[in-house]
Structure 1
Amino acid sequence: MKPVVSLIVLTLFLTGCSLAPNKPNMSNAVSWEVYQEQALALENYLLTGKVGIRSAEDSNSATLTWAQNGHEFDIRLKGPLGQGAAAISGDQYYATLEIPNEPPLQAATPEELLDLRLGWALPVREAQYWIKGIPAPGSTYDATFDDNKLATLQQQGWDITYDRYLEQANQTLPGKVVFTRGELVITIIVRSWQKSG
């Protein structure tokens, strides 16, 4: 092949690569499949770390303990928005919010309780998947990938960014996740992942 023709072919190839959509190639897709399978199999876990909440009105942080057993969740916040402590628990049918020296509140979803009492809401039933670095099942999403793992995810009106991953619980799991919707930004920094159950 003549040098000029070779240069044209190479230029066209590189141009085509630069215009390709940001998604896994065939080898990456297999690795992404494996990651999803491993994350979905992790149904019972204990996550500890810190959560930061920033909105148009306020910003604060709390220590976070998130226990997930199948559909059942128990999320404990210490020091949220100056309230000392809060615990929200439930499953796919109900949610209960407990704050010291106050009667428990119940609702059909944890989002209702969080918004009502704490002034912000994260869709816990979807976030139990997002926090593991996978999309929630049952709805469409857009995503970008880095090294066979999610770099960004857009689903149900939320923009989710994965800034760091950890090697824990014998697998790779997110270490820092940022959830953004409008002016609400929720940042979770994971200290540890443990398998439970």
Structure 2
Amino acid sequence: MRPHLRFAAARLLPLLGLFLLAACAPLRLREDNATLAAQREREAAVLARTQWQFSGRIAVSNGEDGGNADVEWRQDGADYDLRLRAPVTGKNWRLHGDARSAVLEGVREQPLRGANAAELLAREANWQLPVNELEYWVRGLRAPGARAELTFDEAQRPAKLLQAGWTIEYRDYFSDAEPALPRKVFATKGKHRVRLFIESWQRE
């Protein structure tokens, strides 16, 4: 990763240690008619709220390099606004757009534009962050357009999701939300890792 794009990589190893110690959600139930019906109801309820946001921490690794940041994601319909702040340097990035376009600010003097947020981040930061799919995955939903395989926990909440070559694990949920929303989301694709620790949700 280019030096000016690193987000406190030296702080990544202690954080990854916490990830490894985190308890995994129990994987008990495969897809069947009852669990899929419950998931469809859950997805309909979550998707009905088109304005939402969360704040927390994110860590990204490509197998050789990585970094972590404070994160805030705001969603208004198809429009997203993702803000990242390095905990040590205070360096700020902003990624915003929709499914057809993306703007990345804070990396260079002028905003960078692209047709796809994931491709823009991969090119400029060497980060594999599937932004358009993550909009759904972070809420425990299947992203549209690609076949998905689900495993559920004992409360019929998604525990593992396989989609678009990624494995998404839901390690914890907020129990005070209805439907329940994820607290810890770990995504893996080959050598690439994305770890989200969500501290708070807001929905309208």
TM-score category by the smaller chain?
Answer: 0.7 to 0.9
| 2-structure distance, mates of 1:102, 1:120 | 20
| 1-structure distance, mates of 2:178, 2:151 | 24
Alignment partner for residue 105 of structure 1, among 112, 115, 128?
Answer: 112
- For the structure 1 residues 81 and 129, does the alpha-carbon distance in structure 2 shift closer, same or farther, using more than 3 Å as the test? farther
Tell me which residue corresponds to 2:184. 176
| 2-structure distance, mates of 1:107, 1:152 | 31
Tell me which residue corresponds to 1:161. 169
| 2-structure distance, mates of 1:72, 1:80 | 26
Partner deviation per Cα, 1:126-167 (whole Å, 9 max, x = no partner)? 111101001101210111111211111110111100000113
| 2-structure distance, mates of 1:34, 1:143 | 15
* SS of residue in 2 equivalent to 1:171: coil
Tell me which residue corresponds to 1:145. 152
- Which 5+ residue runs of structure 2 have no aligned equivalent? 1-27
| 2-structure distance, mates of 1:46, 1:38 | 16
Letter in 1 for 2:138: I
What aligned pairs does 1:14-93 form with structure 2 within 5 A after superposition? Answer: 22-79=29-86, 84-93=91-100
Higher relative contact order (CA 8 A, sep 6+): 2
Partner deviation per Cα, 1:56-78 (whole Å, 9 max, x = no partner)? 22132100000011110000000
What aligned pairs does 1:99-138 form with structure 2 within 5 A after superposition? Answer: 99=106, 102-138=109-145
| 1-structure distance, mates of 2:118, 2:39 | 30
Letter in 1 for 2:136: Y
Contact 1:24 1:148 in 2 (8 A): no
- Which 5+ residue runs of structure 1 have no aligned equivalent? 1-20
Tell me which residue corresponds to 2:198. 190
Q: Which has the larger radius of gyration?
A: 1
Please state how far the C-alpha of 1:79 moved relative to its aligned partner. 1.1
- For the structure 1 residues 73 and 81, does the alpha-carbon distance in structure 2 shift closer, same or farther, using more than 3 Å as the test? farther
Letter in 2 for 1:164: D
Count of aligned pairs: 176
Identity over aligned residues, as a percent? Answer: 32
Please state how far the C-alpha of 1:34 moved relative to its aligned partner. 2.2
Please state how far the C-alpha of 1:28 moved relative to its aligned partner. 3.5
TM-score by length of 1: 0.81
| 2-structure distance, mates of 1:123, 1:100 | 19
Letter in 2 for 1:175: R
- For the structure 1 residues 43 and 117, does the alpha-carbon distance in structure 2 shift closer, same or farther, using more than 3 Å as the test? same
Letter in 1 for 2:42: Y
| 2-structure distance, mates of 1:112, 1:145 | 31
